[in-house]
């Protein structure tokens, strides 16, 4: 039976074809509840949160870290359930490019415009699009509260031009419109613990949160070790990433409760 730490051959083929794959229940509810409770009570997290406005002025809040440590967020970023899939997807050793907690508050949480992550990571000195991300749903993500939307297969277009949209960097609308006319738009709704693994050239966005429910997610972004940026930027050059054991999230919480 395949390990839950790896893509099966069919899953890896689907990821390569579609530009993303949804690993349902990658983390169990106890693990996710610990992460949410920890983040809600973590003063360093609260002090790190800042906002990014969309084109209409609505704001999404986030906190970002460039390196993994021994905190609970990092146990997810260093988990073999994520890292080993990233190594399969990117064809070799990876390191953490950064990780961020995203908060879309009820009724006010802003949209994210259509973009490719590599649209701007390219300018950080990453010569090749050998980067990918894993979005872990911390609360339920629905169309109403602004779940991730993707254009299936759009990563095969390669990088397109990007420009400023509000406080964000958005993809050229002409190419986005052409992609939407030719490819499938998918609203990726998730339960807590589901994970969306996606290519850095996949076009994706999210609507503002028009519901009464918050939307929280942890996004861990990875770069291939062989794609270390040729110049310094706000995100790190190659830094070895130490994987933790498969039970690290659960053990971390148990060691601090009781």
pLDDT the model gives residue 61: 81
CA-based nearest residue to 167, from 64, 58, 46: 58
- Rounded mean pLDDT of 59-64? 82
pLDDT over threshold 90, residue 46: no
Return the number of other C-beta atoms located less than 10 Å from residue 226's C-beta: 13
Of 41-50, 187-196, 242-251, which range is least confident?
A: 41-50
pLDDT the model gives residue 242: 97
Render pLDDT for 114-141 as a digit per residue (tens, 0 to 9). 999 999 999 999 999 999 999 999 999 9
Render pLDDT for 199-233 as a digit per residue (tens, 0 to 9). 999 999 999 888 999 999 999 999 999 999 999 99
pLDDT over threshold 90, residue 234: yes
Higher pLDDT, 81 or 256: 81
pTM for the model: 0.92
CA-based nearest residue to 170, from 111, 229, 130: 111
pLDDT over threshold 60, residue 62: yes
88: its two tokens: 């399969």
Half-sphere exposure of 57 (CA within 13 A, CB side): 0
Q: In degrees rounded to 5, what are phi and psi of residue 90?
A: -100, 0
Confidence of residue 45 (pLDDT cuts 50, 70, 90): confident
With residues binned 3-state (H G I as helix, E B as strand, rest as coil), the percentages for the chain, rounded to 5, are 30, 30, 40
pLDDT over threshold 60, residue 30: yes
254: its two tokens: 């148990």
Measured CA to CA in angstroms, residue 54 lies from 61, 107, 108, 121, 205 at distances of 11, 14, 11, 19, 11
Return the CATH fold of 15-255: Jelly Rolls (2.60.120)
Measured CA to CA in angstroms, residue 245 lies from 39, 78, 92, 120, 141 at distances of 22, 9, 19, 33, 28
């Amino acid at each position: 039976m395949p390990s839950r730490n790896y893509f099966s051959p069919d899953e890896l083929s689907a990821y390569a074809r579609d530009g993303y794959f949804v690993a349902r229940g990658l983390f169990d509810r106890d693990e996710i509840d610990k992460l949410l409770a920890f983040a809600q009570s973590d003063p360093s997290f609260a002090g790190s949160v800042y906002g990014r406005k969309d084109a209409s002025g609505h704001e999404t809040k986030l906190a970002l870290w460039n390196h993994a440590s021994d905190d609970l967020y990092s146990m997810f970023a260093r988990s073999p359930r994520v890292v080993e899939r990233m190594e399969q997807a990117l064809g070799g050793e990876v390191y953490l490019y950064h990780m961020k907690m995203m908060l879309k508050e009820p009724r006010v949480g802003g949209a994210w415009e259509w973009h490719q992550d590599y649209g701007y990571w390219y300018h950080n000195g990453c010569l090749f699009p050998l980067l990918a991300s894993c979005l872990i749903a911390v609360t339920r993500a629905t169309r109403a509260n602004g779940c991730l939307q993707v254009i299936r297969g759009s990563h095969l277009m390669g990088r397109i031009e990007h420009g400023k949209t509000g406080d964000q960097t958005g993809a050229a609308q002409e190419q986005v419109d052409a992609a939407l006319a030719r490819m499938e738009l998918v609203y990726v709704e998730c339960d807590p613990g589901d994970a969306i693994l996606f290519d850095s050239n996949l076009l994706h966005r999210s609507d503002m949160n028009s519901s009464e429910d918050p939307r929280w997610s942890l996004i861990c972004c990875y770069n291939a070790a062989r794609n270390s940026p040729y110049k310094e930027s706000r995100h790190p050059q190659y830094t070895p990433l130490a994987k933790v054991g498969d039970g690290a999230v659960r053990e971390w919480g148990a060691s601090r409760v009781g």
